[in-house]
Structure 1
Amino acid sequence: MEHTDESIGLRKLVLYRDVVLTEAGEAPARPAWRASVAAVVRNPWLGSGPSTDLTLEQARVAPALAKLLTDRLIQCLGGVDEIESFGKAAIVGTAGEIEHAGALIHTPYFGNLVREFLQGESIICFADTRAEAGESLIIPLWHKTHAATRSHYQTISARVSDGPRADEIVVIAAASTGPRPHPRIGDRLTDPVVTTETLEVVPS
């Protein structure tokens, strides 16, 4: 990892993992582990103006982050076959543009590789913001191959206590090994047709 550290300005990695053992007084049929991995890197566009082309640094930094983060997700969740849902996020420090956060995750150099490494097909849910160090971010997740599967609509919170500093970006990949506890609200593919015309009573 030493070469990667130097090339992308990696300062820190933070891994968070949890599992819900009981919900509403009962154990889920299959407890799902959720995890997020955050990389704190220097902002490669710091001090540049809004006309700056972001693509060269995207192509250099984003693939390294995709590999770094997904490797650790796979390791901490028991293998790629165990992972069922995923998400991504970025937080740019206060000296950067919100576009800098998006530039590292809303790009095929990151998203396509995360999808490939985690063996997914769905578009990856996301969140991004600009914040001071220590602010948490809620990351949405959904099924990595069946995006319409409501049971896997869930979130995970990620936070780096001392990042991002003003000149940094925190890039996060997140995943879960299964659905929410006791899922039972149906599926978008089997929902009834609901419109104002099909409802007997429409709230006013």
Structure 2
Amino acid sequence: MKIRKLTTVVEEILSEGGRETSPVITVAAVAAVIENPWRGQGFVEDLNPGIDATASALGAELAPRVMEALGGSLEAYGKAAIIGLNGEIEHGSALIHTLKFGNHFRDAAQASTLLPAVEKRGEAGAVFDIPLKHFTDATIRSHHQTFEWRVADAPHADEILIALAGSTGGRPQQRLAPLSADK
């Protein structure tokens, strides 16, 4: 795996809707800009060698960085991939939709739900809309949210931008009824 750069962003949400947020909610994301392991190979039928060579090491690199940026406390999380224009959507999916990648984050967060995900092809500076959900119960509505972010110079055409994001809480000032209220 060849990493060109790692980028971390941390936001602290102090107020929402004109009201102070208590406690303050921190959202952090860490992205790696990597060389696409299938670059220049045309259509690759078996993606497993590239997955085996990349996914676990990438998860091991990103997960602890997100946890550190959050101060070790996490309640919601998600993942995303933006594939450079010379790659396939399946290349990003292959790296993030495997337990070899995701289990590093689940283990670090002591989580039990699958990570929500999004992937797309885009040029450098394409916007991530990383979906976040509760780390132990995906039906908890207060934690369904989106974190928007971009890395200005990535991905290049033969790169993939992979990100993990986490939050110390749900949406600020959330007040929707529990999912069970709809039944």
Distance 2:61 2:41 in 1: 26
TM-score, length-normalised on structure 1? Answer: 0.86
Distance 2:152 2:14 in 1: 26
TM-score, length-normalised on structure 2? Answer: 0.96
- Residue 191 of structure 1 corresponds to 181
Given that 1:67 and 1:117 are in contact with CA atoms closer than 8 Å, whether structure 2 keeps it comes out as no
The equivalent position to 1:14 in structure 2, one of 7, 13, 16, is 7
The equivalent position to 1:108 in structure 2, one of 96, 99, 120, is 99
- Residue 28 of structure 1 corresponds to 21
Distance 1:130 1:148 in 2: 29
State the 1:110 CA deviation. Answer: 0.8
Distance 1:40 1:180 in 2: 28
- Residue 43 of structure 2 corresponds to 50
* Unmatched runs of 5 consecutive residues or more in structure 1: 1-7, 194-204
Query: What does the per-residue CA deviation read over 1:117-171, in whole Å, with 9 as the maximum and x for residues that have no partner?
Result: 2211111111100001111110010100011111111111121111100010001
* Unmatched runs of 5 consecutive residues or more in structure 2: none
Given that 1:133 and 1:162 are in contact with CA atoms closer than 8 Å, whether structure 2 keeps it comes out as yes
Distance 1:185 1:72 in 2: 32
Distance 1:121 1:50 in 2: 35
Q: Which has the larger displacement, 150-159 or 33-42? A: 150-159
Identity %: 43
By percentage of residues, which structure has more strand? 2
> Partner letter of residue 156 of structure 1?
F
- Residue 176 of structure 1 corresponds to 167
Q: What's the RMSD between the two structures over aligned residues? A: 1.1
Correspondence 1:63 to 2:53: no
Distance 2:69 2:25 in 1: 13
User: Secondary structure at the residue paired with 1:21?
Assistant: strand
- Matching of residues 161-172 of structure 1 within 5 Å: 161-172=152-163
State the 1:51 CA deviation. Answer: 4.1
- Residue 141 of structure 1 corresponds to 132
> Partner letter of residue 91 of structure 2?
H
User: Secondary structure at the residue paired with 2:20?
Assistant: coil
> Partner letter of residue 40 of structure 2?
G
Q: Which has the larger displacement, 153-162 or 47-56? A: 47-56
Given that 2:64 and 2:105 are in contact with CA atoms closer than 8 Å, whether structure 1 keeps it comes out as no
User: Secondary structure at the residue paired with 1:110?
Assistant: helix
- Residue 202 of structure 1 corresponds to none
State the 1:61 CA deviation. Answer: 0.7
> Partner letter of residue 177 of structure 2?
G
Aligned residues: 183
